[in-house]
Amino acid sequence: MSHHYLAFDSVAFAYPDGSEALRGVSFRITHGESVGIVGANGAGKSTLLLHMNGTLAPSSGTVDIGGLVPGPRTLRDLRKRVGLVFQNPDDQLFMPTVEEDVAFGPLNLGLDSDAVRARVGRALAQVGGLELAARPPHHLSSGQKSRIAIATVLAMEPDVLVLDEPAAALDPRARRGLIELLQSFSHTKVVASHDLDLILDVCDRCMVLREGKVAADGPTEVILSNRTLLEDNGLELPLSRQAAYRVR
């Protein structure tokens, strides 16, 4: 059995103030799948993603990432296996130059300088960012920051790529570039986004979260064409599907 899987079994999570963010979430994502996570604000999307690399631990239920159960002894291996790209790239970019940011993770794995340089080069090439290597991250555009944040994760060579609202604040051209980039990855991918057209373009499977529970799970084309389902869960049809409904 491939180790590239994520399995949640009856996972619940409550924040210290008592608010319940996840309520009995169960699913399995297998090797090579591209899965979109959608839902209204407060549905639990970001909380769910933070459980995928051990940033948060469930209040009850179990998380199994390719045979690893998140905990103090497994976090190092888990974070090599699952790469998480945060919604705000500034949360991941903090070094003086882009090259140093992308090198930070591999250096902390204890790799030698040649191996680190090779990983940095590959990661920047994948996102089309080689020419940005010497630039200070805070001088980059939003689209460039988004790509470099992804590169910092790719440099860790994860099996699973998890992205939280990757298109937030991107202009149309940068958004299209991001979609093309995500389409080119062979990784298992999990993408949480309010941009339902992006989910249509990038993900074959889609889960709808509602108040911390999985309200629907199925082929993206089916889920995101179901107007009643989406409206019942505080969402609207993707723009590309709204036009089709108007034609009817």
Q: Are 196 and 225 in contact (CB under 8 A)?
A: no
**Which pLDDT value is given to residue 248?**
53
- Residue 134: the pLDDT is 96
H-helix or E-strand containing 235? none
Domain residues of the chain, as ranges?
A: 6-91+159-247
**pLDDT of the chain along its 248 residues, tens only?**
355 789 999 999 999 999 999 999 999 999 999 999 999 999 999 999 999 999 999 999 999 998 999 888 888 888 889 999 998 999 999 999 999 999 999 999 899 999 999 999 999 999 999 999 999 999 999 889 999 999 999 999 999 999 999 988 788 988 998 899 899 888 899 999 999 999 999 999 999 999 999 999 999 999 999 999 999 999 999 988 886 665 55
pLDDT in the model for residue 242: 81
* Strands of 82-85's sheet in order across: 82-85, 160-164, 188-192, 34-38, 205-210, 213-219
In this prediction, residue 1 carries a pLDDT of 36
Look up the CATH number of domain 6-91+159-247. 3.40.50.300
What local confidence, expressed as pLDDT, does residue 3 receive?
A: 59
H or E element: which one contains 159? Answer: none
| Residue 47: both structure tokens together | 């909380």
